[in-house]
Structure 1
Amino acid sequence: MIRIICLTEVGLQLARRLQHLLSDTESEVCFKPVPFIDSVQAYFKQRDTLIFISATGIVMRTLASVIKDKYKDPAVLVLDENGQFVIPLLSGHEGGANELARQVSNLLENQLVITTANRYLKPVYVVGMGCERHCPEPVLHGLLDECLAKAGLTINDISAITSIDIKSDEVGLMALANHLNKPYLTFDTGQLGLMEERLSTKSDYIFKTVGVYGVAESAALYQAQQMTNNGSELLLNKHKNKQATCSIARSYMQ
């Protein structure tokens, strides 16, 4: 659940606009919640993603007593009420605030302000893909191109294309990787299951079918982490067409 918290009428207009743009995601506009501190802290404790349209100082004073660490706290973003800037304030990498902030920035066409230190390190990008059996290579290629454009990357930025081991012989994925001159790597459910807590969504249907809650995101996250021996994060949450899914993960070389 994304809670969009606003305190002014101008902020309320922006909140409603953002909620409309986030139509594919469950969200709720919270206008002047009462009592304010108790309500906001309750949202935080239940790990709702919080997007504040307010001053940063208000956010920090409100959450100061309940902030624990970047591995447990939910993502927190701050927008100015004119919608000119978006700042991922808490849990930028581990909690997904940086990725959500990029999405919000793209939706509102505003300025993204990221202050986390990892932006100065060398990034590694990995594509994860899943698909129906015998999905044609052009369908996969089209989805990949769409995802690269959304992430602001080119194929030259990508280190590998990955999937689950039951797709190790998937002709379309193998052809795509070969065409793009990229390694094609697959992983078993034990390896991919280690990424479960980092997934943007969890599909019970996929779990019953293949044994993990998400193929594309899990595979990309796992390989990115393997390449750097550091944590990994989703740069682009799972996108899909009628036959395939695609996600892009990132990690950083020390």
Structure 2
Amino acid sequence: MNKPIRIIALTDAGLRLATRLQHFMPVATVHFKPKPFSQSVQQAFTQGDALIMICATGIAVRSLAPVLNTKHSDPPVLVLDELGEYVIPLLSGHEGGANNWAHTIAAYLQAQLVMTTAKPYLKPVYTVGMGCERYCPQQELAALFAQALQQTGLTEAQIHSINSIDIKADEQGLIALAQAKDKPYGTYGTVALGKMEHLLSTKSEYVFGVVGVYGVAESAALWAAQQHTGQAPELVLNKIKTAKATCAIARSYPAGPKLPLNSLINK
């Protein structure tokens, strides 16, 4: 999350949860019973701050309704109950990154993710994207892969494939990692990966100058997910990195079943 983050709590239990979240996200600031409440929340929202609101969903909706603009410009908003049992991406789920952020927070808290924008009856395809320096050791790549799974709460069994850019088609560490995890290893050219540019969490001019895309790990994960379902992908985990490697996770849902027209009549 590259935006300023505000955690807003209204109860003592909520404050304890907010403090716990701040340990996970040291850049976040905690606001306990800010006054005047609606004005404070609206000001933070309009200036682009990402919000974690530990309160009733109704309070969040009524407070933010007067300042909502569009999903393309509004910052992400999550709503959590005071016990941290549920995480709801309330606003800007896809475009603003609230869905991805909610995955990360839910995994950290071991909470239930309440995703209303996805199709829960469809099983998503999860794909890993990785980039690395030449001759990066398999052990470092494996440790980063494990960290990515831990941060998202995913298992190895849920991962469909490991992917990278085509200049890494012969990268032995990545090949060995894919073989060790019994996953397909896919590589793609800059033209294909470039089509994912609008979905990247960050863009590196340096990486673009070296390999021709603004981010290898995220682009490869996103493109691979789209290829497996034919549907729009999204990042589940923004790029994480070590000194020598990067890793990201994307997902895509397959198209839902097409119902016959007569099944929609008189329902």
> How many Å separate the matches in 2 of 1:102 and 1:134?
32
In structure 2, relative to structure 1, the CA distance for the partners of 1:110 and 1:11 (3 Å cut) is same
1:207: how far off?
4.0
1:74: how far off?
2.6
Q: Secondary structure at the match of 1:59?
A: helix
> How many Å separate the matches in 2 of 1:105 and 1:141?
23
1:18: how far off?
1.2
Instruction: State yes or no: 1:198 paired with 2:215.
Output: no
Counterpart residue number, 2:28: 27
Paired letter, 1:90? L
Counterpart residue number, 1:157: 158
Counterpart residue number, 1:184: 185
> How many Å separate the matches in 2 of 1:47 and 1:192?
29
CA contact (8 A) 1:198 1:233 kept: yes
1:226: how far off?
2.8
> How many Å separate the matches in 2 of 1:7 and 1:29?
11
In structure 2, relative to structure 1, the CA distance for the partners of 1:203 and 1:36 (3 Å cut) is farther
CA contact (8 A) 2:108 2:151 kept: no
> How many Å separate the matches in 1 of 2:59 and 2:117?
20
Counterpart residue number, 2:62: 61
Counterpart residue number, 2:45: 44
Pairs within 5 Å for 1:116-127: 116-127=117-128
> How many Å separate the matches in 1 of 2:19 and 2:209?
36
CA contact (8 A) 1:94 1:233 kept: no
1:159: how far off?
2.6
> How many Å separate the matches in 1 of 2:92 and 2:234?
11
Counterpart residue number, 1:2: 5
1:53: how far off?
1.3
Instruction: Give the count of matched residue pairs.
Output: 252
Counterpart residue number, 2:167: 166
Instruction: State yes or no: 1:12 paired with 2:39.
Output: no
Counterpart residue number, 1:88: 89
> How many Å separate the matches in 2 of 1:189 and 1:2?
33
1:88: how far off?
1.8
In structure 2, relative to structure 1, the CA distance for the partners of 1:150 and 1:18 (3 Å cut) is closer
> How many Å separate the matches in 1 of 2:101 and 2:119?
16
Unpaired stretches in structure 2, ≥5 consecutive residues: 256-267
- Which shows bigger deviation, 54-63 or 37-46? 37-46
Counterpart residue number, 2:244: 243
Counterpart residue number, 1:143: 144
1:126: how far off?
0.9
Pairs within 5 Å for 1:78-117: 78-117=79-118
Q: Secondary structure at the match of 1:125?
A: strand
Unpaired stretches in structure 1, ≥5 consecutive residues: none
Root mean square deviation of aligned Cα: 2.7
> How many Å separate the matches in 2 of 1:33 and 1:208?
45
> How many Å separate the matches in 2 of 1:234 and 1:156?
18
CA contact (8 A) 2:236 2:250 kept: yes
Q: Secondary structure at the match of 2:130?
A: strand
Paired letter, 1:182? K
